[in-house]
Amino acid sequence: MSDKKTILSFVQPSGDPTLGNYLGAFRNWRELAGEYNCIYAIADLHTLTVRQNPADLRKNSRQMLALLLALGLDDNGRNIIFAQSHVPAHAELAWVLNCYTYIGELNRMTQFKDKSSKHQSNINAGLLTYPCLMAADILLYNADLVPVGEDQRQHLELTRDIAERFNHVYGDVFTVPAAYIGKVGARIMGLQEPARKMSKSESANANNVIYLNDDLNQIANKIKRAVTDSDNTVKASDDKPGITNLLNIYCAVTGKAMKTAEEEFAGLGYGAFKNAVAEAVVEDLRPIKAKYNEILNDKSYIEETIKNGAERASHTAYRTLGKVYKKLGFLPRT
């Protein structure tokens, strides 16, 4: 690692990534490599708060790893990409942090309340202590910055509280992380339900969501079938959610400003506009999908990458855990 600050991002392998995931997060991660030491992990341990099909979890984890590599996030080996479950220090430190986190703090987490209401037949302890594992993920690597959405901001604040509480007792052990506020990723809404975000869980309509695993023709056709309105004017406004969403997608993949895009399609109508959006998205994803398929078919490359990533991550993680165990008074490991 260099003298650059360390930025850490975890992603759950909980299903097919969508165009919303790509434009809202993954695409921006790619731009961080030159400025930071970047650590990316497949957060497979976190998925267990909901019952998983083992075969699906393995497949989804492999596909997510292939996608991160296809996006170039390894930056020719300068960044670390690994599977969370391959570094046992995460579970070890999570137990320690459980003992420095108060029940009242965990009960206040809005995600615990939300997930408990959605999975009432499986309100397990992991749902409650999930933030302690997330804190371990961050603190093991002395992460300076963590990109977080609104749904995880509360967890990051708790991580900071836990780190400061531990440091107050034992000295300067953990780096206290800050939220990374960088370029705002595009907020992509459903193609058929533009009032709601693009998400598999938000709609049963297959045409509502673009998955990165869709073939290029499927992607183009879904965009061309997106809902619009009746006035045929390409302009962003609150009363034109469908057109506004397509404009956001177009601007995200082309890098154009909203006003420039509106001027480009002035007077052309929705047919020409949708065709242009479809073409722009397809051309942006074409090289990524080609690389993704190449990597996914190279089993030895995936296995070697995940092995090397775990070894590199473990080097830092166990150095931090050793420091924690020494402070706690555990007998040294031989």
Please give the sequence-ordered ranges of beta strands (E in DSSP) within the chain, or none if there are none.
Answer: 6-11, 37-42, 80-83, 145-147, 178-180
Fold of 200-293: Tyrosyl-Transfer RNA Synthetase (1.10.240)
Condensed to tens digits (0 to 9), the pLDDT of residues 119-176 reads 677 788 888 899 999 999 999 999 999 987 766 788 899 999 999 999 999 999 999 9
Q: What are the catalytic residues?
A: 115, 197, 200
- What's the predicted TM-score (pTM) here? 0.86
What is the assigned CATH class of domain 6-185+299-328? alpha beta
Contact 165, 315 (CB under 8 A): no
Q: Mind giving me the DSSP string for 98-140?
A: HTTS-HHHHHT-HHHHHHHHH-GGG--HHHHHHHHHHHHHHHT
Percent of the chain beyond pLDDT 90? 65
Give residue limits of the domains in the chain.
Answer: 6-185+299-328, 200-293
In angstroms, the Cα distances linking 249 to 19, 142, 246 are: 9, 35, 5
Of the candidate ranges 68-77, 116-125, 308-317, the one whose mean pLDDT is the lowest: 116-125
